[in-house]
Amino acid sequence: MAITVETLAVRKRFGDEWTDVRDFVRPRDFMVRQVVSARADWTPQQMWQWVVETIRYPIGTPRTLDLYVMTSRPFPIPILGWLVPSHRYITRDFWEFPAEVLRDREADCEGSAALLVSMLRCRWPDFPAYVSVGYFREFGHVWVSVQSGTDWQIWDTTLGFVPSPPPLERTSPDYQVLFRFDDRQVIQVAEELVVPERTWEPGKDNALRSWYVVVGRS
């Protein structure tokens, strides 16, 4: 049975920076609005197709394709100052905001999924699309779920194509949902949110440990 969660914060950026998952869906973001307003004849499926074709999946090994480094406040010493910064953060599992995805035209599953939901809700504020976090088989994965009656369609932004019709979660056991969110709410689907998450790359275990915290349920 689905449970509405008051707040679910994730540690998916730099250092001990915690973010409410709803903040990753940004239908009012300037760059999102620019993309959406560029076409008057969008359909939801065309938006999905645009994200699939436009946003590249990162290239690299499991240890590098989602590796992000941030350096800030270098010391005011020529050359050496940039090598010895005041703050340097490294993360191996980074969640991008929609503007960052549009800037780079590159993201893995969570970034492209959050972008698609942001675009859909920008054009149609009540469109029933959510970012779903869970597993594809044994891999940690994120995709877009669109409610259709009592069913949930899978709009996966990493497939490289747009299947027609979209598969349904209830008939696709490879997709296992933990929770869903949009810019307004968080819905816990799984009976228990497991920490640490299962990963297909053992080297990421330490980086992903205790990656979210739930504050309140209703």
The string of pLDDT tens digits covering residues 27-49 is 999 999 999 999 999 999 999 99
Task: Identify whether 196 is preceded by a cis peptide bond (ω within 30 of 0).
Answer: yes
Beta bridge partners of 167: none
The string of pLDDT tens digits covering residues 163-218 is 999 999 999 999 999 899 999 999 999 887 654 444 444 444 443 334 555 555 54
Q: What integer pLDDT is reported at residue 212 of this predicted model?
A: 57
pTM: predicted TM-score of the whole model, two decimal places: 0.83
Burial of 165 (0-12, 13-18, 19+ CB in 10 A): exposed
Query: What fold, for 3-217?
Result: C8orf32 fold (3.10.620)
Say yes or no to pLDDT of 54 above 90.
Answer: yes
**Over residues 11-39, mean pLDDT:** 91
Please state the domain extents for the chain.
3-217
Neighbours of 123 (CB within 10 A): 17
- pLDDT above 90 covers a percentage of the chain that reads 52
| DSSP code per residue over 39-78 | -SS--HHHHHHHHHHHSBPPPS-TTTTT-EEEEEEE-SST
Host H or E run for residue 143: strand 139-148
Say yes or no to pLDDT of 82 above 80.
Answer: no
